Structure 1
Amino acid sequence: MLTAIIMAGGSGERFWPLSTKEKPKQLLKIFSDKTMIRETVDRILPIIRPENIFIGTNIIQSEGIEKELPDIPKENIIVEPVFKDTAAAIGYSSLIIQERLKNKLQLGERIEVVVLASDHLIEKECDFRKAIQIGSREARENPAIITLGIKPTKPETGYGYIEVRDEKIELNKISKVKKFREKPSYEVAENYLASGRYLWNSGMFIFTIETIFENFKELMKEHMDIFNQIREEIDGKIQGIELSNRVKPYFDKFEKISIDFGIMEYSKDVRVIPVDIGWNDIGSFNALEEIFDKDESKNIVKGRKINSLDSKNNIILSENLNISLLGIEDLVIVEHNGELLISKKDRTQDIKKIIKNK
């Protein structure tokens, strides 16, 4: 039985002022008339039924997500009481899925889980679903964790990398992972690209419930002990914020650590499916340069038209202000709800720092 966990607890800091804690990037309509989380759900509906799609979020955003996704059962909105990173979040969501669906399984049937972000852009949706189905079958037949690796198109320094054991990468062919690599320098990224043995780490995983908890038992025993305590609190009668409040004392005990550092880098059997699916994690405003068309001065302009003279390579998003540019280059200018951001392109990753000073 194929299920999905869509991670939707982001804080919205890197897309401020468009996004806020109450309305982060996944609840924005950036690329179409749909929010990003709506696009994410619609992307997998052809292969996963709505009752088998679960959303991991927090108390602040849960109400907005419920309104945005009326076709997803309310009890499938999993509210985390405290942010303790992805190891706790994925394990907790997997636990709820297991308890919720265990009595619905046919003899010999397993629960496969695909973990997705709620705010990624994927242009080749059919190829994406094909890769999910390949990974689901592999996870069902072998006690492995499967990840999707993106075929790199340039020496990108903003992504982690996956080194494969095969000498040559073949799309949609499962390979064993040799090592996960941290975000590299530009020179190292160039070497990765030239070698033909590295993929971008997309952060998308596929596994069976049994496999992920075996990995927790072996590699993150303290997490597993807490999951076993939480299991006793899940009785099927409470859900959402009520369940969140009940399990908060247990969440407080979790070490804050990502599943990448806790499990993926140390698991005995991690496999990767190389894919070319038109993927972009939209990690900052700069990513819009890869998505939207530019004008004759290589500016990206969304919303109101601008008055520009001798200004180029800028990103301008404005809903209400008429903006004039004179001799301006390589800036990000974003106006929304009475807030105005002006940043150099090479500083957009630091937007969350300036928010803390507000």
Structure 2
Amino acid sequence: MLTVLIMAGGSGERFWPLSTPTKPKQLLSLFSDKSMIREAVDRVLPIVTVDKIFIATNILQAEEIKRELPDIPEKNIIIEPVFKDTAAAIGYTSLIIEERFKFLEEKIEIVVLASDHLIKDDVVFREALLKGANEARENLSIVTLGIKPDKSETGYGYIEVSNNENLKLNEIYKVRRFREKPNKDTAEQYVASGRYLWNSGMFIFNTDTIFKNFEVLMPEHTEIFNKIRKEIKSEISGIELSKVTEPYFQEFEKISIDFGIMEYSKNIKVIPVSIGWNDIGSFTALSEVFESDKDGNIIRDTEAILHESGNNIVICDNGIVSLLGVKNLIVVKKGENILIAHKESAQDIKKIVVKYNALKKGE
């Protein structure tokens, strides 16, 4: 039986001031009249019913997500008590999904997706998910989708495939190893070899398989999961379940599932895909999505006056923005907050957020 887990607990700090703790990037309508999380749900509805879609989030965002996704059963919106990274979050939610459908007495496959990724080719994407789910069911593999690179990108992790020939799209390959974000020269070597894919962070597995991997590779997590199982059996959900399990969550080591399991498991498979994917990690990603003017400027949701200015990104909720003789800037206005940053500093916007939060608290 196929289920989908959409991870929606991120704060989206690199999209401040558009993104806030209570309404982060996944709840924004950046590319259409729908929010990104609404797009993520609609993208999988052709292959799974709403009762089998689960959202993992936190207490700050839970109510807004309920309003945004009224078709998702409220008990399927799972509130992570404490942020302990993706190993704890995915294991915890897998426990809940397993308990929810135990009466069916059949294998349960879980597709883990992000709530804030852009995917243009929905049809090919769904085909890959179904193929991955079948592989997870039949061969007890953990499957990931690897993005066929079209450039030597240094902002993504890479997946090295155990194959000496150029990879074919939509086929299944054994993963040799995961690679961290490389420098420019190394990224160029990866892409030229034809044996490397971008790590999309999307996973497909059978619940039995993921918990066996936890037992072998993360036994401390398994001990905590066994304690939490007793609470899940009480059939409570939402905030109530979050409060009950919070003491156990405090015991988890903060570690991602990539570092805890994916890099060490012996049966990881990958499906190379070309689906128009972008993780929209910062404002600069908009340059890859929207058409620019003749000077390379991207103007969204506002009017702008530009003179001798190029390669800028401008987003404003009201008023007119005027740029004179500037290049490679990010200019964003949301309410009373204005951000002006150089594109090269896009990954560091969260440093501004830290100072902004301190200022608001009067520190």
Aligned residue in 2 for 1:281:
279
Aligned residue in 2 for 1:211:
209
1:61 aligns with 2:52: no
1:342 aligns with 2:340: yes
Instruction: Give the deviation of 1:104 after TM superposition.
Output: 2.5
What value does the CA root-mean-square deviation take over the aligned residues? 0.7
For residues 236 and 67 of structure 1, do their structure 2 counterparts lie closer, same or farther at Cα, with a shift above 3 Å needed? farther
Check conservation: 2:303, 2:319, Cα contact below 8 A: no
Check conservation: 1:310, 1:326, Cα contact below 8 A: yes
Query: Partners in 1 of 2:295 and 2:211 — Cα distance?
Result: 53
Letter aligned with residue 115 of structure 1: V
Query: Partners in 1 of 2:317 and 2:344 — Cα distance?
Result: 24
Query: Partners in 2 of 1:4 and 1:311 — Cα distance?
Result: 45
Query: Partners in 2 of 1:226 and 1:330 — Cα distance?
Result: 48
Letter aligned with residue 348 of structure 1: A
What are the superposed Cα offsets for residues 84-114 of structure 1, whole Å, 9 maximum, x if unpaired?
0000000000000000111124xxx310000
Letter aligned with residue 129 of structure 2: I
Gaps of 5+ in 1: none
Counterparts of residues 84-163 of structure 1 (less than 5 Å): 84-105=84-105, 109-163=106-160
SS in 2 for 1:17: coil
SS in 2 for 1:207: strand
Aligned residue in 2 for 1:23:
23
Query: Partners in 2 of 1:171 and 1:165 — Cα distance?
Result: 15
Check conservation: 1:333, 1:341, Cα contact below 8 A: yes
Check conservation: 1:304, 1:322, Cα contact below 8 A: yes
What are the superposed Cα offsets for residues 136-160 of structure 1, whole Å, 9 maximum, x if unpaired?
0000001210000000000000000
Letter aligned with residue 4 of structure 2: A
Aligned residue in 2 for 1:318:
316
Aligned residue in 1 for 2:72:
72
Query: Partners in 2 of 1:170 and 1:155 — Cα distance?
Result: 19
Q: TM-score normalized by structure 2?
A: 0.97
Letter aligned with residue 39 of structure 1: E
Q: Determine which of 237, 240, 258 is the counterpart of 1:260.
A: 258
Query: Partners in 1 of 2:353 and 2:231 — Cα distance?
Result: 37
Instruction: Give the deviation of 1:354 after TM superposition.
Output: 1.0
Query: Partners in 2 of 1:281 and 1:355 — Cα distance?
Result: 21
Check conservation: 1:321, 1:335, Cα contact below 8 A: no
Instruction: Give the deviation of 1:321 after TM superposition.
Output: 2.7
Letter aligned with residue 92 of structure 2: Y
What are the superposed Cα offsets for residues 319-346 of structure 1, whole Å, 9 maximum, x if unpaired?
1131111100000000001100000001
Gaps of 5+ in 2: 357-363
SS in 1 for 2:220: helix
Aligned residue in 2 for 1:44:
44
SS in 1 for 2:48: coil
Query: Partners in 2 of 1:225 and 1:335 — Cα distance?
Result: 47
Check conservation: 1:100, 1:236, Cα contact below 8 A: no
Query: Partners in 2 of 1:343 and 1:27 — Cα distance?
Result: 23
Instruction: Give the deviation of 1:236 after TM superposition.
Output: 4.6
Query: Partners in 2 of 1:152 and 1:92 — Cα distance?
Result: 32
